[in-house]
A and B are shown apart, each in its own frame.
Chain A
Amino acid sequence: MGRTHPASAVLLIDQKMIWNAVPGLLDGAGVTLGLVVGSVGVGMLLGAPIGVGHVYGSRAVRTGLWLFDRVFRGFPAIVLLFLAFFGAGQLLSVRISPFLAVILALGLRSAAYQGQIFRGALEMVERGQLEAARALGLSLPGTVRCVLLPQAARFALPALSNEYSVVLKDTALAFTVGVVDLMSRAKFLAMRSREVLVAYLLVAGVYFVLTYAGIALFRIVERAIAVPGLGSRRVRRSR
């Protein structure tokens, strides 16, 4: 076909090929969302106790968490992904599925970030409340669970929304270990149709929609569980 003129390149797009790709892209989007829910879920399950450990843990616990934090926030996402996928196989001599490897790597990474978010949120609750609850006879774990966490979770929500959008964009790296997610569907489409630009622009559009739809959803939840008068306080997560 040779080099095409920009204007004709737009006209020569194989429209049928693109339409045929839509079901595949939707499948891929489903896998991508699965990765995001899994990773953010793991991050949340581990992040909340990690945050408590950062603030109320013993010296040994805090040192351990500091080390964990350094590694998982200091290594690039893609290096963690390779470590989980290839490294786990080498260490345990079992091959874990690519899907699980991504959730393991991005989930632990998210746990490190969410640990910091929860740490910030816990520190926003006044110390007096902790002392008051203890004075009333509540145990320390009871105080954390019934007094601190319900408030901290609300402070943390805006940062968690950010966390969702970060993790979503990081899952686009899952194709490097062989997960057939949205991004690898785009690569297939680009290869088969040779409409490389259109394929990647299309998938960019899908990621764009997923990012902002998710953020909007978080905002709805935020408004639904807000405590009147406590609305303006929030922990910020940069990205």
Chain B
Amino acid sequence: MIGADLLEAVQKLYDGLLVTLRLIAVSAPAGLALGVLVGLTETYGGRLLRGLAIGYQITFRGVPLVVQLFILYYGLPRLGITMSPFAAAIVGFTLCSGAYHAEYVRSAVLSVPDGQTEAGRAVGMTLGQAVRHIVLPQVLRRALPGCGNEIVYLIKYSSLAYLVTLVDLTGQGRLLAYASFRFLETFFVVGLIYLTLVALASSLLRAVERRLRIPT
């Protein structure tokens, strides 16, 4: 890989990186939002909703992400539901990471004493208001370390998008590696790019955590 070849390789990896970043930019917030919704449903929902939320969480945490992606992209067309590779990856990542976020949110909700919600109700708030203004601000802070970790995982597992034919960073890396037979160099560079993304995300999340911390 010299000169023009190297330049072309860099260009291709950059194209792949953009796809990876787009995947993360959509599915990380979507997964977090779903996780918060499910976590709250598990703690405040009625019997039926709670059952559904817990069932969802257990199911998606018990099955590998690859299998979920294959069901979405290769399996569902059997029922007439067809998705583009990008859509399938987004849906898969969102559903899977939502299930993991939900657990952090659920345990954060349980860590807020009941008395606070009751106090809110006693001063005339509805349950919804008490949850929104009293419980949720605390829950989001307490769930942040776990949820942040989950977002870091999502960055790494976004590499599975290539399995549903999307040419993301890993996909471009594979094409380059097979074309040049330089597997070691190519995958090491690809790995370093993911590592950089992970490091950036971690320090960003830590800054947010510090920023939101309640001064004691």
A residues engaging B (CB < 8 A)?
A: 3-6, 9, 70-71, 74-80, 82-83, 86-87, 89-91, 165, 168-170, 172-173, 176, 183, 186, 190, 195-197, 199-201, 203-204, 207-208, 211-212, 238-239
Contacts A75-B194, A91-B184, A212-B62 hold; do A204 and B170 have CB atoms under 8 A apart?
no
Once A83-B188, A86-B184, A176-B163 are accepted as A-B contacts, the answer to whether A76 and B78 lie under 8 Å apart by CB is no
Tell me which residues across on chain A come within 8 A of B79, comparing CB atoms: 6, 9, 197
Q: Report how far A3 CA is from B78 CA in the complex, Å.
A: 8
Residue in B65, B160, B173, B195 whose CB lies within 8 Å of A74: B195
Given contacts A86-B184, A238-B149, 19 further A-B contacts (CB under 8 A): A4-B78, A75-B191, A76-B157, A76-B158, A77-B157, A77-B159, A78-B160, A80-B191, A83-B187, A87-B183, A90-B181, A169-B63, A172-B65, A172-B67, A196-B74, A197-B75, A199-B75, A212-B58, A212-B62
Given A183-B67, A201-B71, A239-B149: A82 in contact with B62 (beta carbons within 8 A): no
Determine if B191 and A200 form an interchain contact, defined as CB atoms under 8 angstroms apart. Answer: no
Chain B interface: which size bin? 35 or more
- With A76-B194, A201-B75 known as contacts, the answer to whether A82 contacts B149 (CB < 8 A) is no
Residues of B within 8 A of A78 (CB): 159-160, 170
In the complex, chain B residues whose CB is within 8 Å of the CB of A9: 78-79
Asked if B59 CB lies within 8 Å of chain A CBs, one says: yes
CB-contact partner of B63 in A199, A207, A238, A239, under 8 A = A207
Our count of residue pairs bridging A and B at CB distance below 8 angstroms stands at 129
> What's the dominant secondary structure at chain B's contact region?
helix
- A196–B75 CB distance below 8 A: yes
